[in-house]
Structure 1
Amino acid sequence: MSTLGQRCIAIVTDDPGWHGARLREAFGARGWETRNVSLQECHFDLAGDGDGIRLPGFAGLPEAVFVRGVPGGTFEQVIFHLDLLHALRELGVLVYNDARAIERSVDKCMTSFLLRAAGIATPPTWVMRDADILERELQRELAAGHRLLHKPLFGSQGEGIALVRAAADVPAPEDCSGLHYLQRYIPTGAGQSHDWRVFVIGGQAVAAMRRSSTGPLTNVAQGASCQPAVLDAELKALAEAAAARLDMAYAGVDILRDPDGKAWVIEVNGVPAWKGLQQVCGADIADALASDLLGRLHHRQAIEAVS
């Protein structure tokens, strides 16, 4: 039971901002309170009675946890933050998205592997540490006339991504932790680069926008412009399949089409922002998220009541 009452959702974030306010309003309209919680302020207490995990502002466990962000840090610190989310799930708390989904999506290598294994079209990708393997794959792709994107394994908003036209464009090992993630660059035809950000909630694509840029990256944080978009059946199904493969309650799925019209899933974001999307599409994303989370919670409680 929380200090705020039994009907309280913990919002995991270090920067509530606009998104935290929208979630507070959406849950509040349904009679639920929210409290912002930083994983950096949580801890395990395995010395005595109780659940073994402590969240600031909660005397016990929250009804549910909405994950809006996981702090960065050293490898050990990141593992600790994910351990907290894993532990909450083990204790029966509804975690939305849970640590397993976040691990699959924050790690671009695992995302690419899972999408390909499921037969979901995603660009050819190579991930390696060995310099000889890097040189071999790089030279083969460049000789075939392909460009590549060198991405950090963990990253968002287009930060740290380099367009590779020649071997000299590849970051030095000390600038990328000695790990190279190379993905074939898929052009989208003449004119501006563009893709679609599709927001999937509860297995359904609920909103989308088209992002355009004069450069190779279409992230809004990198200066891309956004326009409302109506998805065709193929893009809708592709986004929903990608979110389902990573077992995500909600997701931001990035899709593009090459000049031949083939659709490719580029990335799947497990803690997607939606301010830009809401501004162009008019959908109340926070309302849909709150509805889905509470629907899952009520379904679970109904099952527990009769078991």
Structure 2
Amino acid sequence: MRVVIMSDEIGWHTRQLQAALRARGAVGRCVDLADCNIDTTAAWHGLVIPGYGRELPDAVLVRGIAGGSFEQVTKRLGVLHALRELGVPVYNDARAIERSVDKSMTSLLLHAARIPAPATWATESAAQARRIAMRETAAGHALVLKPLFGSQGKNLQLVGEVDGVHHPMPDIDARYAGLAYLQRFVPPMASPGFDWRVMVVGRRAVTAMRRVSAHWIHNVAQGARCEPAELAPALAQLAEGAAQALDMDYAGVDLIAAASGPKIQVLEVNGVAAWQGLQRVTGFNIARAIVDDLLDRKLAQARRFTQQSLPPERRA
């Protein structure tokens, strides 16, 4: 079996996945989606995947998509869409990645599925964003302003009053591409504060950790400390529900304890989740679980569908 690992970086994660694939008798080849092209003269399927000539891989595992212009990212996601339509299992597929990368869509889908999450607003109007902040401040709430497509806790900003300090609304045109994505701030319930990262594979929560930080941002990339955490039933149920709401094969789900409202709330759902920090504090082999689910469930489903689509005389 030949599996493409779509990634813009070769490193720890890709090595983990390649080792897990080798253990299953499969070969994992790393390919950057930026190097994949559309060429309707090259092969019947119209795609050019480096290293595959006129053929297609047996499966695709998406580990990373490089940033770029709107047009570049659209083409890269288009390649993933095309692979899925051509019958190649893509894990996670482009639709799931689009749902999770767009935080406003994530919020809408969680809301529709009745998954507890902080109150959320997304608006292109700076005046409306200021009115939301004023109304929330009057009600005793602060907000977190996030880039719609951000990751790793970068460029998050408090808005409103926190611990006696007022944080004004910044210029969204200059720093946030003209869009305010606002979530109600969930104050820490302990010092230092923490949240949970739960890994969901095959729609089943498999392991968890606490991300602990004296700062209100708990991302590992921003200096948070990883600690082992019990995968309590309440955490597992919410994480699995969030992954199912976005129709994801695997996901890193971030959750936080809240003093008011639902006791545990989903902050974000990551469709191309990193797990190096989590792997350091758990004995569960995450890469192996991802590969097993890809081969045993996703690829097996695709092969059954292909067999059913063939005329009886051509079925194996």
Fold-level similarity (TM above 0.5): yes
Q: Determine the structure 2 residue equivalent to 1:4.
A: none
- Residue in 1 that maps onto 2:178: 178
Q: Which of 22, 26, 39 is the equivalent residue of 1:28?
A: 22
Matched, 1:47 2:41: yes
Distance 2:59 2:233 in 1: 33
Asked whether 1:114 is paired with 2:109, we answer yes
- Tell me if the contact between 2:126 and 2:180 (Cα under 8 Å) persists in the aligned partners: no
Cα RMSD over matched residues? 1.4
Distance 2:240 2:94 in 1: 20
Decide whether the 8 Å contact of 2:212 with 2:225 is kept in 1: yes
Q: How far apart are residue 306 of structure 1 and its match? A: 5.3
Instruction: Give the deviation of 1:235 after TM superposition.
Output: 1.1
> Aligned pair in 2 of structure 1 residues 74, 303: CA closer, same or farther (>3 Å)?
closer
Displacement of 1:78 in angstroms is 1.0
**1:68 and 2:63 aligned:** yes
| 2:237 matched residue in structure 1 | 237
Match of 1:153?
A: 148
Specify the SS of the correspondent of 2:168.
helix
Q: Deviations over 1:250-272 (max 9, x none)?
A: 00000111125711000000000
Task: Please report how far the alpha carbon of residue 14 of structure 1 lies from its aligned counterpart in structure 2 after TM superposition.
Answer: 1.1
How much does 1:47 deviate? 3.4
User: Which range moved further: 166-175 or 286-295?
Assistant: 166-175
Cα 1:81–1:179 shift into 2, 3 Å = same
Q: What TM-score does the superposition give when structure 1 sets the normalisation length?
A: 0.95
Deviation at 1:280, TM superposition (A): 0.4
1:287 aligned onto 2:282: no
Q: Which residue identity does 1:202 align to in structure 2?
A: G
8 Å contact from structure 2 (residues 87, 302) kept in 1: no
Corresponding residue of 1:3:
none
- The aligned length equals 301
How many Å separate the matches in 1 of 2:120 and 2:277?
29
Q: CA deviation at 1:132?
A: 2.1
CA distance in 2, matches of 1:36, 1:292: 19
On the 8 A contact 1:138/1:167 being kept in 2, the answer is no
2:269 is paired with a residue of what secondary structure?
strand
- CA drift at 1:232: 1.6
Match of 2:189 in 1: 189
Tell me by how many angstroms 1:170 deviates: 2.7
Relative to the length of structure 2, the TM-score reads 0.92
Q: Does 1:162 find its partner at 2:163? A: no
How far apart in 2 are the matches of 1:283 and 1:80?
A: 35
Asked whether the 8 Å contact 2:194–2:212 carries over to 1, the reply is yes
* The one of 7, 10, 17 aligned to 1:13: 7
Whole-angstrom distance in 1 between the partners of 2:126 and 2:307: 58
Identity %: 50
* Structure 1 residue 239: Cα displacement: 0.3
- Specify the SS of the correspondent of 2:281: helix
Pair 67,48 (structure 1): closer, same or farther in 2 beyond 3 Å: closer
Deviations 1:224-247 (A, max 9, x none): 111111122111100000000100
What are structure 1's unaligned runs of at least 5 residues?
A: 1-6
Aligned counterparts of 2:192 and 2:45: Cα–Cα separation in 1: 53
